[in-house]
Structure 1
Amino acid sequence: MDHAPRNAAALADRIAQLDADVRAFVPEPDRPGRLAADAQGIAERWPDAADRPPLYGVPVGIKDIVRVDGLPTRAGSALPPDVLAGRQATVVDRLRRAGALVAGKTVTAEFAVLAPGPTRNPRNLAHTPGGSSSGSAAAVAAGMVPLAVGTQTVGSMIRPAAYCGVTGFKPTYGRIPVDGVIANAPSFDTLGLYAPDIAGLVRAAAVVCDDWQQDTPVSRPAPPVLGIPVGPYLDRAGAEALDAFDAQVKQVRAAGYDVRPVPVMDDFEQIVAQLFVMNRYEVARTHAEWFPVYGELYRPETVKAIREGQDIGDDVYARARREREEFRERIAAAKDAHGIDLWITPAATGPAPRGLDSTGSSIMCLPWSNVGLPSLSLPAGATPQGLPLGLQCVAAWGADEQLLSWAPGIATALAGSGPAKAVGP
C-alpha cells in the first residue's frame, strides 16, 4: 500500500500546527483536502516504486508570485487574483513532473518588492525572516517542508536563508525559466531554492534548472580558491557580521583552503546607484497596466518604488545597462587575474533585525545579483542570542554545478569537522 495520502494528512497537520506562529504559508480554505487529492494522484501516477521520479512525494512550498494551477496568485497584494492569473510556471511544471507535492503558496513581500508580509522568523518570532522570499525560507526553517521555491531580484533568496539558518541557492540568471512568474525587475529576477541541506538543493536543482550536468566532475581539484572582495562593498557589513566572517575565514583556511583578499568595487556606491536605476525603471514598467487601475490597493513601499521608476528616463536606464556590462567585465577580470574560484562574503549585513516592519538590507547580495552570478548561502553559526548567520559563496557565470559540488566541503570546514573536499553534484 502506498502511504502518500497518509503523509499528506501529516503534512497538512504539521503546517496547521506550526504556521499558526510562523505564518509562512498563504491561507488556503481546504489544504488537507487538496493535499490528500494531490497525493493520491501522485501515488496513482507512479504506482511502481522502481519507476518513481526523483522528487516523488516531496512537499514543496511555492512563493506566491509563481503561478500554480489550482491555487490563486495574490503576490502578497490586495489586487484581485483574477487580474494576476495566468499559465502555471514552468518551474512548477518541472517539479510536478518530478513527483513533487505542492504544499501551498508561501508568503512574499508585496509583488516581491519591499512591503513585508506577516511571516516571522522561526528561530525567533520577534525577528524578520528577511524578504521577499520570507515564507519560503521560513517554511523550510520551521520544518514544515523540505523544499521551497523563492525568487531573488537583489537579495531575496540569500538574505532570508541566512536569517533563517537554511541553505539557499540562487542559480545563474536565466538558469531556471521565469515564465509564469510575476516579474519584479526582469533583468535581475531569478528563481531559486531553499532546503535544509545541500543534498536537497542538488536533487531539486537537477530537476528545475536548464541542462543540469548531474554527473560532470568539477574541472579543478579540490579545494577551490576562495576570494574575499575587500573594499567599500565589504565595509557595508555590520561589525557583528564582519567579526563572524573573520572567524569563518579562519575556519576555512584551517581546513586547507587558499583564501585570497582581492581589492574590488572601489566604485561601489556607483554600482548601487546603477542597480537602483535599472531596478526601479523595470518595476514601474512591470506595473504599467495594473498600477493606473489598482494603484489605491498598493502598499506605500511599492507605490514609492513605482513612482521612483516612473521618473527615470529611457536614456538614464540605457546608460545604467551599459555600466552594468562594464562592471560584469571588471568583476570577471578580477576573478581571473587572482585565480579565484569562489567569492566568499557575509550573506547579510548581520543577523535578522528585530521586528517585522523591515526585511533587512540586501546590500551584500547586490553586486552579485546585479551581474547574475550563481550564489549560495550556507548556515555559518549564530550570534550569542541564537540568531543564525550565513556565509555567501558566489561562483562564475554558469558554474552552478561546481558551486553546489564545492559547497559540502565548505560547510564541513565551517563546522570544523575535517578537511575540505569537493564532491560530484
Structure 2
Amino acid sequence: MNAEARLRECLARIEAREGEVRAFVHLDVEGALAQARALDAGPVRGPLHGLPLGVKDIFDTHDMPTAMGSPLYAGHRPRADAAAVALCRAAGAVVVGKTVTTEFANMTAGITRNPLNPAHTPGGSSSGSAAAVADGMLPLALGTQTAGSIIRPAAYCGVVGIKPSFGRVPRAGVKANAESMDTVGGFGRTVAEAALLASVLTGDARLREWTVPDSLRIGLVPGPDWAHADADVAACWAQAVRALAPRAARCEDAVLPPGFADVAEVQAAIQAAETAQALAFEHRRHRAALSDALLALLDRGRAVDAETLAAHRARAERWRREVDALFERHDVLLTPSTGGEAPEGLRFTGDPLFCRPWSLLGLPCVHLPFARGTRGLPVGLQLVGRHGEDHRLLAAAQWCMDRLG
C-alpha cells in the first residue's frame, strides 16, 4: 500500500471517531496528504516510510502549533521541529497532527476519552497519542514519560508503549518537565511497530533487528506498592506467571534493594522539584493561567530544599547501581503497569505509582497488553530492562507476548 492510500485509511477512521475520542488538538489533513504524495513520488525514505504519525503536543513542530496543553501557549508556532519529530520525518513518517496532552504533561487532564469506553480516562499525559493508536486512527504516535505518561495510557488503552532508556532519545524541542527523568518514546499496536518507532528515535537499528530468544530469565517484581494493585491486576499477574514460568529458563522473585519501598516518594519529590525549575517562567509570570493542581505541584517542588534534593538524588543513584546488579541474574523484570483498569471519569488520569520507580532509575520499559479487567477494559503488565539494552528488552517483550496472547 502506498503512503497516500495508507494515510486515507487513517483519515477515514479519524473522521469517523474523532468526535467521540477527541485524540487531536490539531489536524493537518492537507499537509499530511502533501507529505504522503511526496513520499510516493520518490524513493523509500527510511524505516517509517509512509507511516502516519501523531505527535504529542509538547513536541515543537515547524508547521503546526504547539500549545503544550495550556491556554498560555494557544496558537504558539515554533520555527523548528523537535529533534525526535525531525528524525521521524527523515525516516519517512507522515505527521498527521498534534495529539492531546495534559497541562504541560502533568496531571490536569485534557479532553481525550478512552476509545474503549468514553466514560473512562485514557490516562495521561500522552493521552491523545495512546488513544489514537488504540482506536486505529494511527499506527504510531510519539509520547513522553516522566513518571508514567507512556506506560499508564498504553495500559489503559490496551496498546504497546515503549519508554526507552533515559538519555537514548534527544529531547531538544520538547517542553521540559523533569530534567533527570523526561524520556521520549511512543506507542504502537504491536511490539514490532513500537520497536520500529523506537529504533528511529534512538538511531539504533538493533531495536528493529532483534531475534526472539529461545528462553528468558524473568525476575518478578510485584513491587513495594503491590497493596495498591486491585483484583484485576492480581488476576493478570497470576495469568502471566502461569503462562510464562513453565517456559522460562528462570522465573522467580527479584530481590529489591534495601529502602526501595521509598522509591515512589523519592521520585515524586525529585520530579516536583525539577518541574518547579522547568516551569519557573510560567509560574512567576503567568501564575493565573495555570491550574490549581499544577500550582500546588509547583509549590511542593519549590519547597524541596537543595540539601533534601541532593539526598534524594544520592539515594536514586545508589538504587540504580543496586537494581542494575539484578540484571546479572535476570534478563528482564516483570512488574505491574497500573493499579487496575482505567478509572471512570475524565478529570483524573490515573496514578503513575507503579511506573515511578523505573522512570526514576531511567530504565527502558515496555507495556504488554494482553488481558481485560472486570469492566472489560484493558489490563497488562510491563517489562523493565537493563539501561542501554533496549533491543534485548524488546526481544523479550515479543517472547512474552507470543506466550500471553
User: How big is the shift at 1:89?
Assistant: 0.8
What's the CA shift for 1:80? 2.9
CA contact (8 A) 1:231 1:265 kept: no
Relative to structure 1, the CA distance from residue 290 to residue 229 in structure 2 (aligned partners, 3 Å threshold; closer, same or farther) is same
Length-normalised TM-score, structure 2:
0.94
Distance in 1 of aligned mates of 2:87 and 2:295: 34
- Shift of the 217–101 alpha-carbon distance from structure 1 to 2, 3 Å rule, reads closer
Asked whether the 8 Å contact 2:29–2:96 carries over to 1, the reply is no
* Partner of residue 279 from structure 2, selected from 287, 295, 301: 287
What is the CA-CA distance between 1:81 and the residue it aligns to? 4.2
Q: Paired residue for 2:48?
A: 55
1:217 Cα deviation from its structure 2 partner: 5.8
- Alignment partner, residue 39 of structure 2: 42
In the alignment of these two chains, the number of paired residues is 405
Look up the SS of the partner of 1:213 in the other structure. helix
The change in CA–CA distance for 1:264 and 1:6 in structure 2 (over 3 A counts) is closer
d(CA) in 1 for partners of 2:161, 2:254: 25
Map of 1:233 onto structure 2: 225
- Gap regions ≥5 residues in structure 1: 416-425
Kindly indicate whether residue 19 of structure 2 is the aligned counterpart of residue 23 of structure 1: no
**1:381 paired residue number:** 371
Deviations 1:99-139 (A, max 9, x none): 11001000111101110101111111111111111110000
State the secondary structure of the residue aligned to 1:156: coil
Which residue number corresponds to residue 84 of structure 2?
A: 91
SS of residue in 2 equivalent to 1:343: strand
Q: Does 1:167 align with 2:157?
A: no
Matched, 1:325 2:317: yes
| Change in CA separation of 1:212 and 1:322 when aligned onto 2, cut-off 3 Å | farther
Identify the match of residue 150 of structure 2 among 157, 167, 186: 157
Q: Deviations over 1:252-277 (max 9, x none)?
A: 12334521112325534422222122
Q: Can you list the C-alpha shifts for 1:117-171, whole angstroms capped at 9, x where unaligned?
A: 0111111111111111111000000000000000000111111111111111100
Partner Cα distance (1:250, 1:289) in 2: 51
Is the 8 Å Cα contact of residues 230 and 263 (structure 1) preserved in structure 2? no
What stretches of structure 1 move > 6 A for 4+ residues in a row? none
Q: Is the 8 A contact 1:162 1:388 kept in 2?
A: yes
- Residues 326-365 of structure 1: CA distance to partner in whole angstroms, max 9, x if unpaired? 11112123443xx111100121111111111111111111
The answer to whether the aligner puts 1:139 opposite 2:132 as a matched pair is yes
- For 2:22, the aligned partner's letter is R
1:248–1:380 CA contact under 8 A, matched in 2: no
Q: Distance in 2 between matches of 1:118 and 1:231?
A: 32
Deviation at 1:285, TM superposition (A): 0.7
1:103 and 2:96 aligned: yes
Distance apart, 1:16 and its partner CA:
2.3
Name the CA distance, whole Å, in 2 between partners of 1:129 and 1:32. 24
Letter in 2 for 1:369: S
3-state SS in 2 of match to 1:263: coil
Distance change in 2, residues 1:170/1:313 (3 Å): same
1:276 alignment counterpart = 268
Maintained 8 Å contact 1:236/1:364: no
Candidates 385, 388, 395, aligned match of 1:398: 388
Name the CA shift for 1:68/1:369 in 2 (closer, same or farther; >3 Å).
same
Equivalent of 1:358 in 319, 342, 348 = 348
- Pick from 288, 294, 311: which aligns with 1:296? 288
User: CA distance change for structure 1 residues 215 and 167 in 2, over 3 Å: closer, same or farther?
Assistant: closer
Question: Which of the numbers 14, 17, 30 marks the counterpart of 1:33?
Answer: 30
What amino acid sits opposite 1:296 in the alignment? A
Distance 2:301 2:45 in 1: 47
Task: Say which of 319, 324, 338 aligns to 1:348.
Answer: 338
Q: Deviations over 1:5-61 (max 9, x none)?
A: 455444333212211000111144xx33222222233334x2x4xx44221110001
Q: Do the aligned partners of residues 297 and 332 (structure 1) sit closer, same or farther apart at CA in structure 2, a change above 3 Å counting? A: same
Is 1:150–1:192's contact at 8 Å kept on the other side of the alignment? yes
> Tell me, what secondary structure is at the counterpart of 2:240?
helix
Return closer, same or farther for 1:9/1:38 CA change in 2, 3 Å cut-off: same
For normalisation by structure 1, the TM-score amounts to 0.90
1:61-102, CA deviations, whole angstroms, 9 ceiling, x for partnerless residues? 100001111111101111134668353111111111111100
Whole-Å Cα distance in 2 between the matches of residues 322 and 312 of structure 1? 15
Worse-superposed segment, 285-294 or 164-173:
285-294
User: Where does residue 236 of structure 2 map in the other structure?
Assistant: 244
Aligned counterparts of 1:80 and 1:250: Cα–Cα separation in 2 = 49
The one-character-per-residue Cα deviations of 1:186-237 (angstroms, maximum 9, x if unpaired) are 100001120010111222222111334358767x963110011255233332
Structure 2, unpaired ranges of 5+:
none
Q: Is the 8 A contact 2:122 2:153 kept in 1?
A: yes
Q: Displacement, 1:3?
A: 5.3
In the aligned structure 1, how far is the partner of 2:402 from the partner of 2:338? 21
